[in-house]
Amino acid sequence: MNIFKRSTDKPSSLPEPVSGKICGEWVEMLTLLLLQERDMYGFEITQLCRERSGGRIRILEGSIYPVLYRLEEEGSIKGYEKEIMTKRGVLRKRTLYTLLPAGRERLVELKKRFDETVEGINRIRAASTLIE
């Protein structure tokens, strides 16, 4: 499943965006990180990931919802419906998600695994004799 797609509107000086082969747990981690701040709906999560990563990480809107449903099913988040005013001044019903205590615990676990993975990658890079 392709969770990420390349940004076509990025300046040429930016590195290539993260590919679709990134670990699915990273999407969970990013989702839980954002939900620490406040309750959000799926599209909002995808937009914040794109904005804050400088266009490097683009989670497809249709791919975030299976992650949200799975996190809700396991008790990490809870969804609830709320009417939200759109930029065009129209009230729309949205499902917002809130982070639960189990989600905070899951986030700690995911961040630890992510940090360990990055450390492992950095060790491999440091030991490599290839050109940087």
Q: What is residue 19's predicted lDDT score, i.e. its pLDDT?
A: 42
* Cβ contact 1:65 at 8 Å: no
Better-scored residue on pLDDT, 8 or 132 = 132
Mean pLDDT calculated for residue range 111-129: 88
- Cα 16 to chain centroid distance, Å, stands at 17
* Buried/exposed code over 22-58 (b: 16+ C-beta within 10 A; e: otherwise): eeeebbbbbbbbbbeeeebbbebbbebbbeebebbbb
Average pLDDT, the chain: 84
Residue 107 has pLDDT above 70, yes or no: yes
Report pLDDT for 130. Answer: 66
Q: Residue 82 belongs to what H/E stretch?
A: strand 77-85
79, burial (CB in 10 Å: exposed 0-12, middle 13-18, buried 19+): middle
Arithmetic mean of pLDDT, 25-35: 95
Q: Residue 61 has what pLDDT?
A: 80
pLDDT in the model for residue 76: 98
Q: What is the Cα–Cα distance from 78 to 93, expressed in whole angstroms? A: 16
What φ, ψ does residue 55 adopt, rounded to 5°? Answer: 85, 0
